[in-house]
């Protein structure tokens, strides 16, 4: 067996050029990508559609535009399409991307892509379709009653039974004129007990309906009518907060209103005379004034008739209670545009970037989206019985926000340009932007969104209903893509297209061209466990079964119940169970385009885990264009508070991993497999296993009141890509992290499989790209050979000047001046290592080789690339080489870097050449050397011996030739010494196929750290 060959962290690939967030998941050029396909599902007479008709029906839903643009979109405001016009429309079905993911287990895979593809490919099945005379503008399900409520353009709420598919009730919400434009129902809400239904729309009113006995009554009673004395215009969005009995209202005049409602308590009934306070009954000086001679026109006559007849048929006990929104319960100009949508979400299970200590988390949080392109996050608090609303943060989108949906900690935002933005609320970062095919009109708006099983269901006025699969792993990543960010490949979805039919067999429905008009979608689970999607559109409503669609989302809050119940087990069995879940997240940082969601869900999972382990403070530090840094702090136990010195230790780790070729593995890389005393899985050894061992050790001591020091965890998600953004994040959050006394990590390995080790040194690195370029194009050697100096020859001769050809020393002036001389103590350490490896007959670990690997600087040339077609007769216009210099402790990185650049430039200047030289230092990391005599190394040494026992060889102090830039940076940042305690064996195959971790090593590391954390603060 070959030992000591593990590639070190961040060393397996040159640092990629990171794509900035958000990741554009779709483009407008590629129809398909490797491993993905799109298809179209059409059927006759399900949603009849017309973009012109929609503009008339729902013109109020258009984004804020100039008056001319609005008129162009709306036509005659509020007018329905005539029968003759509608008869010319084509029948069409909501367009669905049936298979955005394709098969994920198809041949080779570079990242363990054995994905359950059957469910991702499942076509949503149409269960039933209902028709209506007017369009369905909004829908809300009542799963406990097996009913769906639909708000219509003609001022009705239709109640459908989803068991026998009958129309149970028709609730008339007000007068409907010939066109029905004045009282269209634009939004619905329901309380969590499903006893009350809320409706609102074009009449500026919110009506509350008692649906508790809807299955047994003929008439549904309106219990409350909520109104404002201010002319708020149409109501586009409402939201009911059960916990505070508060109704939230988003209006056309850009305001947010709220009021308390006591739904179940008896309310005083208002007389019919009081009802004239309502906005549509009030006297208007302009519209209600009489003309010359006291004459009134037909519209005024009809309005007066409505006022006298609307309530005449109601008995006194049937008259609803009027609730006036106070002027102080309104935020005027909450947006600079219509408030199209309101969503509430639970903040208890997540740590959010807009709530940071010392700020206390608010009682409740909700979001609003407006025509100004902003999503605003609001906090609701109660003070002395008064409800107060305060804005926490604004999220800026490029277009008007027409719809929103919250799933776990992600916010999905539907925009007026047909695109969908995805925000990570834990870091308030825009992480993904999904672009769909543009219509011939630019007003294809995302009017409603539904999220289920990693799929987005998008309803739009022109494009119809799309399904987009978020989690798509390609079946293969080519070798040319290794070592750099994966170029974002994408697809676009169309209403119809022959190219899709060539990819997938025709679905069970007839294909049909035509435009689509879907205005609202909702997803709900029935009492029988079936998951339905309900979609409302032009004169129809459709019920879909989507139970088996998509891939199940890993719950990031799977440990949240344990937090509340205070019952998370800390035994080693639970440690392995947690490691299994931890490994299942595909946190491959090299390919953020593919694995962004996994990495961020993993960071959120860690947050939940840390809380369950009783961390006193947990946060996510956002990293620009990268995965967040997880922060947690465990305070020392109370019995140590009497100590004069307060010790604070920082544990550094990472949750990202390198990619894994599943075809080369014996098992699924992202499924932890126990076998022969080991656990196999990507990240088991590097670095998820050691991370959990340290977490469980600290938590166990905390719960036993034996933690002698504060322990801060800093767990990054970009270590395998050179710790992108890590130094900046730590610098910005240095005050939060606090003063640090010791830095500890487990990011290394033993020399063999039997001898425990302590790592005390790493080399640094300077990576540079050197290019020589000619002003002349690529040329033919038979024509231009020898005419002038060639870039390839110049570069070759230049690189040859960097190393002495006889003794292999580096020819950079003063390069070796700061290299420490070899001490007697260090010689003894090397001799001890040499003796140990000689006894085991391990090759290439003699004294001289160890010095070359660990202690001596080196220079390497890694790649040589040239422009042109790579033919043997071409003189390339440009030649580029990639080099690295490994520097050692006490060498100054900046000094060496400047000397390298000066050496290259001064040498090149001596060439008689017209070519140009360029030098790019694209990555660097400082060397690190620990003090083996300090307190933490002595404690670790003693605890290793006591826990492994006398049958295991004494620990060896070792160094490594690789680089972890973060360690030396943290030492300098916090002015604290660092130490490394390896967990894995030399045969762990970190970064390679069949990565493993011996279970005994995992448990022993936990025991060693438990004893260390119990003692370090008491010394």
Is the peptide bond preceding residue 22 cis, with omega within 30 degrees of 0?
Answer: yes
Say which residue the tokens 């409800």 belong to: 387
Please name every residue paired with 367 in a beta bridge, in sequence order, or none if there are none.
343, 377
Q: How many CB atoms lie within 10 A of CB 989?
A: 20
The candidate with the shortest Cα–Cα distance to 695, out of 553, 559, 595, is 559
d(CA 137, CA 653): 50
- Terminal CA-CA length for the chain: 42
> Does the structure show a pLDDT above 60 at 566?
no
* pLDDT classification of 493: cutoffs 50, 70, 90: very low
The candidate with the shortest Cα–Cα distance to 228, out of 250, 211, 245, 196, is 250
What integer is the mean pLDDT of 304-321? Answer: 61
**Confidence at residue 159, expressed as pLDDT on a 0 to 100 scale:** 97
What integer is the mean pLDDT of 442-464? Answer: 88
Picking from 273-282, 456-465, 665-674, 854-863, which range would have the lowest pLDDT averaged per residue?
273-282
Q: What is the DSSP string of 491-545?
A: ----S--HHHHHHS---SSPP------EEEEEEEE-TTS-EEEEEEETTEEEEEE
Structural contact between residues 392 and 363, judged by C-beta atoms closer than 8 angstroms? no
* pLDDT classification of 68: cutoffs 50, 70, 90: very low
User: Would you give the DSSP letter of residue 853?
Assistant: I
> Does the structure show a pLDDT above 60 at 461?
yes
The candidate with the shortest Cα–Cα distance to 489, out of 591, 407, 584, is 591
> Does the structure show a pLDDT above 80 at 72?
no
pLDDT > 70: percent of the chain: 74
What integer is the mean pLDDT of 75-88? Answer: 34
Strand runs (DSSP E) across 646-775, as ranges? Answer: 648-654, 673-675, 678-680, 710-716, 742-745, 757-762, 764-773
CB neighbours of 216 closer than 8 A, spacing ≥ 6? none
Tokens, residue 1009: 């750290």
Domains, the chain, in order of start with CATH, read 31-269+320-478+488-545 (2.130.10.10), 560-763+928-1015 (3.40.630.10), 764-817+856-925 (3.30.70.360), 820-855 (no CATH)
Q: Name the range with the highest mean pLDDT among 117-121, 295-299, 409-413.
A: 409-413
- Tens of pLDDT, residue by residue over 897-919, are 999 999 999 999 999 999 999 99
> Does the structure show a pLDDT above 70 at 846?
yes
Q: How many CB atoms lie within 10 A of CB 866?
A: 18
Longest alpha-carbon distance in the chain = 118
Tokens, residue 310: 């609307």
Burial 925-964 (b: 16+ CB within 10 A, else e): bbbbbbebeebbbebbbebbbebbeeeeeebbbbbbbbbb
Q: What is the DSSP string of 763-830?
A: -EEEEEEEEEE-SS--EEHHHHTTTS--HHHHHHHHHHTTB-TTT--B-STTTTTTPPPPPHHHHHHH
- Tens of pLDDT, residue by residue over 156-187, are 999 999 999 999 999 998 754 444 445 899 99
**Three-class HEC string of 255-280:** CEEEEECCCCCCCCCCCCCHHHHCHH
Q: How many CB atoms lie within 10 A of CB 1007?
A: 17
Q: Where are the alpha helices (DSSP H) in 818-964?
A: 824-839, 847-850, 893-909, 935-948
> Does the structure show a pLDDT above 90 at 739?
yes
Q: How many CB atoms lie within 10 A of CB 967?
A: 22
**Confidence at residue 494, expressed as pLDDT on a 0 to 100 scale:** 29
User: Would you give the DSSP letter of residue 984?
Assistant: B
Tokens, residue 980: 């490394």
> Does the structure show a pLDDT above 70 at 319?
yes
d(CA 868, CA 502): 37
| CA dihedral sign of residues 693, 697, 702, 708 | negative
**Confidence at residue 467, expressed as pLDDT on a 0 to 100 scale:** 87
d(CA 794, CA 787): 14
What integer is the mean pLDDT of 437-456? Answer: 80
The candidate with the shortest Cα–Cα distance to 380, out of 250, 244, 255, is 244
Say which residue the tokens 């996510």 belong to: 620
Picking from 119-128, 510-519, 574-583, 659-668, which range would have the lowest pLDDT averaged per residue?
510-519
Tokens, residue 544: 């879909």
Between 901 and 434, residue with greater pLDDT = 901
Tokens, residue 162: 């989803």
> Does the structure show a pLDDT above 70 at 240?
yes
Distance from CA of residue 342 to its chain's centroid?
21
Q: Name the range with the highest mean pLDDT among 38-42, 588-592, 671-675.
A: 671-675
Q: Cβ-count burial of 2 within 10 angstroms (0-12 exposed, 13-18 middle, 19+ buried)?
A: exposed
> Does the structure show a pLDDT above 90 at 15?
no
Tokens, residue 978: 């660092």
d(CA 43, CA 508): 9
Strand runs (DSSP E) across 143-272, as ranges? Answer: 147-152, 156-161, 167-172, 185-190, 196-201, 206-210, 221-228, 235-241, 246-251, 256-260
- Tens of pLDDT, residue by residue over 190-229, are 999 999 999 999 999 999 999 999 988 888 999 999 999 9
Q: Name the range with the highest mean pLDDT among 22-31, 120-129, 438-447.
A: 120-129
- Tens of pLDDT, residue by residue over 504-546, are 222 222 222 334 689 999 999 998 889 999 999 999 999 999 9
Tokens, residue 505: 């067999």
> Does the structure show a pLDDT above 50 at 89?
no
- Tens of pLDDT, residue by residue over 241-251, are 998 999 999 99
Picking from 4-13, 320-329, 722-731, 950-959, which range would have the lowest pLDDT averaged per residue?
4-13
> Does the structure show a pLDDT above 50 at 87?
no
CA dist 847 → 1, 209, 826, 855 (Å): 20, 85, 11, 11
Per the prediction, the chain carries an average pLDDT of 81
**Confidence at residue 1014, expressed as pLDDT on a 0 to 100 scale:** 97
Picking from 116-120, 163-167, 405-409, 760-764, which range would have the lowest pLDDT averaged per residue?
116-120
Is the peptide bond preceding residue 227 cis, with omega within 30 degrees of 0?
Answer: no
- Tens of pLDDT, residue by residue over 321-361, are 899 999 999 999 999 999 999 999 887 666 666 665 555 66
**Confidence at residue 100, expressed as pLDDT on a 0 to 100 scale:** 34
d(CA 389, CA 256): 10
Picking from 258-262, 591-595, 693-697, 899-903, which range would have the lowest pLDDT averaged per residue?
591-595
Strand runs (DSSP E) across 577-701, as ranges? Answer: 617-623, 626-634, 648-654, 673-675, 678-680
Structural contact between residues 875 and 786, judged by C-beta atoms closer than 8 angstroms? no
E strand or H helix at 324: strand 321-325
Q: Catalytic residues, which ones?
A: 656, 719
* pLDDT classification of 465: cutoffs 50, 70, 90: confident
Say which residue the tokens 């003796």 belong to: 835
pLDDT > 90: percent of the chain: 61
Structural contact between residues 669 and 660, judged by C-beta atoms closer than 8 angstroms? yes
Say which residue the tokens 């670790």 belong to: 940
The candidate with the shortest Cα–Cα distance to 519, out of 51, 110, 33, is 51
Picking from 159-163, 385-389, 734-738, which range would have the lowest pLDDT averaged per residue?
385-389
What integer is the mean pLDDT of 873-901? Answer: 96
**Confidence at residue 334, expressed as pLDDT on a 0 to 100 scale:** 97
Q: How many CB atoms lie within 10 A of CB 473?
A: 29
**Confidence at residue 320, expressed as pLDDT on a 0 to 100 scale:** 87
What integer is the mean pLDDT of 613-626? Answer: 93
The candidate with the shortest Cα–Cα distance to 598, out of 115, 12, 69, is 115
* pLDDT classification of 837: cutoffs 50, 70, 90: confident
- Tens of pLDDT, residue by residue over 905-955, are 999 999 999 999 999 999 999 999 999 999 999 999 999 999 999 999 999
**Confidence at residue 363, expressed as pLDDT on a 0 to 100 scale:** 75
**Confidence at residue 76, expressed as pLDDT on a 0 to 100 scale:** 30
The DSSP bridge pattern shows strands 742-745 and 978-980 to be parallel
Of the CA atoms within 13 Å of residue 378, those in its CB half-sphere come to: 24
- Tens of pLDDT, residue by residue over 778-822, are 998 988 888 889 999 999 999 999 999 999 999 999 999 999 999
Tokens, residue 923: 């990555």
Between 381 and 980, residue with greater pLDDT = 980
> Does the structure show a pLDDT above 70 at 683?
yes
d(CA 748, CA 656): 15
> Does the structure show a pLDDT above 60 at 33?
no
What integer is the mean pLDDT of 446-453? Answer: 94
pTM: predicted TM-score of the whole model, two decimal places: 0.82
């Amino acid at each position: 067996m070959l030992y000591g060959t593990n590639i070190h962290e961040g060393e397996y690939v040159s640092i990629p050029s990171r794509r900035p967030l958000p990741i554009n998941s779709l483009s407008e050029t590629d129809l398909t990508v490797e491993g993905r396909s799109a298809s179209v599902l059409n059927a006759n007479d399900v949603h009849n559609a017309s973009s012109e008709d929609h503009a008339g029906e729902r013109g109020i839903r258009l984004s804020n535009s100039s008056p001319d643009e609005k008129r162009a979109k709306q036509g005659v405001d509020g007018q329905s399409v005539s029968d003759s016009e509608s008869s010319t429309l084509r029948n069409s079905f909501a367009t669905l991307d049936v298979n955005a993911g394709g098969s994920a287990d198809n041949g080779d895979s570079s990242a363990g892509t054995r994905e359950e593809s059957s469910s991702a490919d499942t076509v949503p099945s149409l269960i039933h379709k209902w028709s209506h005379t007017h369009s369905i503008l909004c829908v809300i399900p009542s799963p406990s009653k097996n009913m769906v409520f639909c708000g219509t353009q003609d001022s009705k709420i239709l109640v459908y039974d989803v068991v026998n598919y009958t129309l149970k009730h028709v609730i008339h919400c007000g007068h409907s004129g010939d066109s029905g434009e004045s009282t269209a129902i634009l939004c619905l809400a329901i309380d969590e007990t499903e006893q009350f239904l809320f409706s609102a729309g074009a009449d500026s009113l919110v009506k509350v309906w008692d649906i508790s006995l809807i299955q047994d009554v003929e008439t549904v009673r309106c219990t409350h009518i909520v109104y404002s004395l201010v002319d708020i215009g149409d109501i586009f969005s409402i939201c009911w907060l059960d916990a505070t009995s508060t109704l939230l209202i988003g209006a056309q005049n850009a305001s947010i209103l709220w009021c308390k409602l006591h739904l179940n308590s008896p309310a005083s009934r208002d007389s019919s005379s009081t009802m004239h306070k309502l906005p549509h009954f009030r006297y208007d000086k302009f519209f209600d004034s009489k003309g010359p001679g006291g004459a009134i026109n037909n519209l005024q006559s009809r309005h007066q008739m409505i006022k006298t007849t609307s309530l005449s048929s109601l008995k006194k006990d049937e008259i609803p209670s009027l609730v006036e929104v106070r002027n102080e319960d309104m935020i005027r100009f909450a947006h600079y545009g219509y408030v199209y949508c309101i969503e509430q979400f639970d903040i208890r299970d997540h740590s959010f970037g807009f709530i940071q200590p010392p700020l206390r988390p608010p009682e409740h949080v909700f979001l609003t989206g407006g025509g100004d392109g902003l999503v605003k996050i609001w906090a609701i608090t109660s003070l002395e019985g008064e409800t107060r609303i305060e804005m926490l943060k604004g999220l800026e989108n490029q277009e008007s926000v027409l719809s929103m949906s919250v799933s776990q900690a992600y916010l999905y935002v539907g925009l007026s340009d047909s695109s969908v933005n995805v925000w990570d609320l834990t870091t308030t970062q825009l992480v993904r932007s999904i672009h769909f095919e543009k219509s011939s009109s630019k007003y294809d708006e995302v009017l409603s969104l539904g999220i289920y099983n990693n799929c987005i269901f998008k309803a739009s006025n022109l494009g119809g209903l799309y399904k987009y699969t978020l989690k798509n792993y390609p079946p293969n990543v080519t070798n040319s893509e290794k070592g750099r960010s994966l170029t974002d490949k994408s697809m676009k979805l169309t209403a119809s297209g022959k190219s899709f039919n060539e990819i997938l067999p025709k679905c069970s429905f007839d294909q049909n061209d035509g435009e689509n008009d879907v205005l609202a979608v909702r997803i709900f689970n029935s009492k029988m466990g079936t998951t339905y999607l309900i979609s409302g559109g032009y004169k129809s409503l459709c019920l879909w079964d989507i139970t088996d669609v998509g891939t199940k989302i890993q719950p990031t809050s799977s440990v949240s119940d344990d937090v509340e119940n205070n019952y998370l087990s800390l035994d080693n069995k639970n440690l392995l169970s947690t490691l299994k879940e931890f490994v299942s997240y595909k946190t491959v940082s090299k390919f953020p385009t593919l694995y962004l969601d996994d990495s961020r869900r993993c960071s959120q999972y860690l947050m939940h885990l840390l809380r369950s382990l009783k961390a006193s403070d947990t946060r996510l530090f956002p990293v620009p264009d990268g995965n967040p840094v997880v922060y947690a702090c465990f305070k020392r136990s109370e019995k140590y508070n009497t100590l004069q010195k307060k010790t604070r230790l920082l544990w550094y780790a990472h949750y990202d991993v390198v990619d894994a070729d599943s075809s080369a593995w014996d098992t699924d890389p992202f499924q932890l497999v126990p076998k022969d005393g080991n656990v196999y899985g990507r990240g088991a050894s590097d670095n998820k296993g050691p991370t959990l061992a340290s977490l469980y050790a600290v938590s166990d001591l905390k719960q036993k009141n034996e933690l002698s020091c504060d322990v801060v965890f800093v767990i990054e998600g970009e270590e395998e890509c050179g710790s992108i953004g890590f130094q900046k994040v730590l610098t910005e959050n240095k005050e939060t992290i606090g003063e640090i006394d010791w830095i500890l990590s487990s990011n290394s390995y033993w020399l063999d499989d039997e001898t425990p080790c302590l790592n005390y040194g790493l080399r640094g690195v300077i990576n540079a790209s050197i290019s020589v370029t000619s002003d002349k194009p690529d040329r033919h050697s038979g024509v231009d050979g020898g005419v002038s100096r060639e870039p390839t020859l110049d570069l070759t001769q230049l690189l040859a000047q960097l190393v002495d050809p006889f003794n292999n020393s580096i020819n950079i002036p003063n390069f070796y001046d700061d290299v420490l001389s070899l001490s007697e103590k260090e010689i003894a350490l090397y001799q001890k290592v040499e003796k140990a490896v000689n006894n085991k007959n391990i090759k290439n670990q003699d004294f001289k080789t160890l010095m070359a690997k660990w202690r001596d600087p080196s220079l390497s040339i890694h790649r040589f690339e040239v422009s042109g077609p790579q033919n043997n007769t071409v003189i390339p216009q440009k030649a580029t080489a990639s080099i690295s210099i490994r520097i050692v402790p006490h060498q100054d990185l900046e000094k060496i870097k400047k000397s390298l650049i000066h050496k290259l430039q001064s040498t090149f200047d001596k060439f008689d050449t017209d070519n140009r030289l360029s030098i790019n230092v694209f990555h660097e990391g400082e060397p690190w050397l620990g003090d083996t005599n300090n307190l933490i190394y002595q404690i670790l040494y003693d605890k290793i011996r006591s826990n492994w026992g006398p049958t295991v060889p004494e620990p060896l102090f070792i160094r490594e030739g690789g680089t972890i830039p973060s360690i030396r940076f943290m030492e300098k940042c916090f002015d604290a010494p660092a130490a490394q305690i390896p967990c894995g064996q030399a045969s762990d195959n970190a970064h390679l196929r069949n990565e493993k971790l011996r279970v005994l090593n995992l448990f022993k590391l936990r025991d060693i750290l438990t004893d260390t954390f119990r003692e370090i603060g008491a010394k």
